[in-house]
Copies of this chain bind each other. A is one copy, B any other.
Amino acid sequence: MSTEGKIRIIVADDHYIVRAGLVSLLGTAEDMEVVSEASSGKEAIKVYQKHLPDVALFDLRMPGMGGVESIKQLCSKHPDAKVIVFSAFNGDEDIHKAFEAGARGYILKSSIGEDLLEAVREVDAGHKWIPRDVSSRLAIRKTYETLTPRETEVLSEIAHGRSNKEIANSLNISDYTVKDHIKNILGKLQVAARTEAVTVALQRGIIEI
């Protein structure tokens, strides 16, 4: 529990209106107050260090330094930071990356206000908070095979339209190796062609464009 009675919160989202919604909603709760806002990941870290809030609400996909990277940096400097991800996306990889980065809660933007308030209270109390629809996504993920860092790198190149030869040059490896990675990617994502691999990976949050 927080020192002054009220749970002190910062919110980080690049959409003004989402911040307005959060401030409005959290403001109605007697036991919470939003002490500051940020519109980017970089700004969020600064704001956190200035205000040292009890709970930080982060959007996962923000321009510039993304939410994942921001959370990772924040949690490495402040291991006690209580971060809740508040995202519009429910790709299994997004969710997994958020928790791996150090988040203690993940809540969808479509969820109702009570769920958000509950999440804030639970995380403030030192617990984890994972709604059913989010945890089911993580369960689905366990049935998938995960891509290696190199495979993800290759897939990202594919998404940008590069040919095998171009990828080989850019990564300084043989095009035989590129083909190998692609074989593994197609197998793991259970698709037949590189184009579908890209759209599936985009939907799951494995890569971004």
Chain A residues near B (Cβ < 8 Å): 14-25, 39, 86, 88, 109-113, 116, 158-161, 163, 191-200, 202-203, 209
Contact = CB atoms under 8 A, between A and B. Distances in A.
Total copies of this chain within the assembly? 2
A167 B190 CA distance: 20
B16 A111 contact: yes
B161 A195 contact: yes
Nearest to A191: B161
Given A194-B195, A195-B194, A203-B209, A116 B17 contact: yes
A134 to B, nearest CB: 15
Given A160-B196, A161-B193, A163-B193, A16 B113 contact: yes
Nearest to A20: B21
Contacts of A17: 18, 21-22, 25, 86, 109, 113, 116
Contacts of A21: 17-22, 24
27 contacts: A15-B18, A15-B110, A16-B110, A16-B111, A17-B18, A17-B21, A17-B25, A17-B113, A17-B116, A18-B109, A20-B25, A21-B21, A21-B24, A23-B24, A39-B110, A88-B88, A159-B195, A159-B199, A160-B196, A161-B193, A161-B195, A161-B200, A194-B195, A199-B209, A202-B202, A202-B209, A203-B209
